[in-house]
Amino acid sequence: MSAPVLEIHNVSVSYGGVVPAVVGVDLTVGPGEIVGIIGESGSGKSTLAHSILGLLPKAARVRGDRFVLAGNTILDADRTTLSVLRGPSAAMIFQNPMAAFSPIHTLGKQLVDLLWRDRDQTVATKRERIIAALKQVGIPDPMGKLDAYPFQLSGGMLQRVAIAAALLMRPALLVADEPTTALDVTMEAQILHLMRSLRKTAGVSILIISHHLGVIAEICDRVAVMYAGQIVEEGAVETIFSDPRHPYTQALFACEPALIPTGVGRLPVIAGEVPRPGGTGCDFAGRCRFTEERCLTLSPPWVSASADPRHHARCHRSKP
């Protein structure tokens, strides 16, 4: 098997407070793989994504045993080296495509500017590359779009342009944080279809964050469930949706079972508050219907959760 595109081990991120926002996360994304991250608001999904892209605020601290992106170790490198390493390795798609562009310049100018690293190429060459990228993401009349301003495109079209912009960087990994949340259902379906096709046409791996279980079920190969800064369950998408073993994952799915595998269900709200991570025992114990004595005192181990060798959960009740 070829080397993973992303490989992180025991990575924690702190924003400066006593309690980290991401705690001891292990995550691997293989070549051409689409991995999803789900979890309630505040569980650390975006923090994890931003740590991969180097988008965390200056005060944030990333620690870990291993942090390898497209073959480069990015932990402990200084900021300048990091931006050089990350630039071509990973690109990010955000929730609101409008925010990805300046309102006062044409798309053509902004996309050409994006290619500033390629100093040996003429503007004409760059425009050709851009037109090809816009075609690749299914934008009609790509040449005409170069003279358009962001507000002249629909949200879905603009998200396509944002994806094209990301692809122009030829990233090994595309990180998409709620890429369809701002779009209507039809646009959402089209963007998902596009992202799925990109792994073949652009050879890119994708890490996608979504509140939307239908989105995750539809395009991911593997899913990681985050709760209070930790990954509490991980496995193949079919396994996670058909046989979730962590009580947190079960609670997420149980609220609207009919909607889960194929529907348009959004993550339901589970009673109680997400605790600040870092307490003793299991962080879910205060909300879990199976809580027993050991859950309050002992941190649950990361163990095999079912016969599927890729399926793991962080729960005392999951036994190998």
Ligand X SMILES: Nc1ncnc2c1ncn2[C@@H]1O[C@H](COP(=O)(O)OP(=O)(O)OP(=O)(O)O)[C@@H](O)[C@H]1O
Q: Note the residues at the interface with Mg ion (CB under 5 A).
A: 46
What gap in Å lies between CA 288 and CA 286, rounded to an integer? 6
Q: Decide whether 47 or 180 has the Cβ nearer to ligand X.
A: 47
Pick from Mg ion, ligand X, none: which does 15 bind, CB < 5 to 8 A by kind?
Answer: ligand X
Question: In the range 48-107, which residues lie near ligand X by CB under 6 A?
Answer: 57
Q: Which residue's CB is nearer to Mg ion, number 46 or number 136?
A: 46
98 Cβ contact list (under 8 Å, min separation 6): 150, 151, 155, 158
227 token code pair: 């709760």
Give the number of other CB atoms < 10 A from CB of residue 124: 8
41 binds, among ligand X, Mg ion, none (CB under 5 to 8 A by kind): ligand X
Pair of tokens at residue 162: 């944002």
Q: Among residues 15 and 149, whose Cβ is nearest to ligand X?
A: 15
The DSSP secondary structure of 191-253, one letter per residue, reads HHHHHHHHHHHT--EEEEE-SBHHHHHHH-SEEEEEETTEEEEEEEHHHHHHS--SHHHHHHH
Q: How far is the CB of 232 from ligand X (least distance, A)?
A: 13
- Window of 43-51, 105-113, 148-156, 157-165 that interacts with ligand X by CB under 6 A: 43-51
Query: In the numeric block, which tokens belong to residue 39?
Result: 């979890």
Member of 4, 24, 36, 44 binding ligand X (CB under 6 A): 44
Among 9, 15, 181, 189, binds ligand X (CB under 6 A): 15
Q: Which of 21, 139, 167, 168 binds ligand X (CB under 6 A)?
A: 21
Strands 205-209 and 173-177, by their bridges, are: parallel
**The amino acid at 44:** G
Contact between 47 and ligand X (CB under 6 A)? Answer: yes
Min CB(18)–ligand X separation in Å = 12
The region of 42-50, 82-90, 109-117, 253-261 touching ligand X under the rule CB under 6 A is 42-50
Nearest alpha carbon to residue 305 among 260, 256, 262, 246: 246
Categorise residue 212: left if φ over 0, alpha if ψ from -120 to 50, beta otherwise: beta
How much is the CA Rg of the chain, to the nearest whole Å? 20
Contact status, residue 41 vs residue 28, Cβ threshold 8 Å: no
The entry of Mg ion, ligand X, none that residue 44 binds, CB within 5 to 8 Å by partner kind: ligand X
Comparing CB distances to ligand X, the nearer of 57 and 309 is 57
- Residue from 42, 155, 261, 263 touching ligand X (CB under 6 A): that is 42
Tokens of 266: 């959004």
**Per-residue tokens: 246:** 């962590």
Q: Among ligand X, Mg ion, none, what binds residue 24 when CB lies within 5 to 8 Å by partner kind?
A: none
Q: Name the 3-class secondary structure at 296.
A: helix
12 touches ligand X (CB under 6 A)? no
Task: Identify what 21 binds: Mg ion, ligand X, none; CB under 5 to 8 Å per kind.
Answer: ligand X
CB of 43 to ligand X, least distance (A): 4
From ligand X, Mg ion, none, interface partner of 20 (C-beta below 5 to 8 A by class):
none
Q: Among all residues, whose Cβ is closest to Mg ion? A: 46
Q: Does 46 bind ligand X (CB under 6 A)?
A: yes
Given the rule CB under 6 A, which residues bind ligand X?
15, 21, 39, 41-47, 57
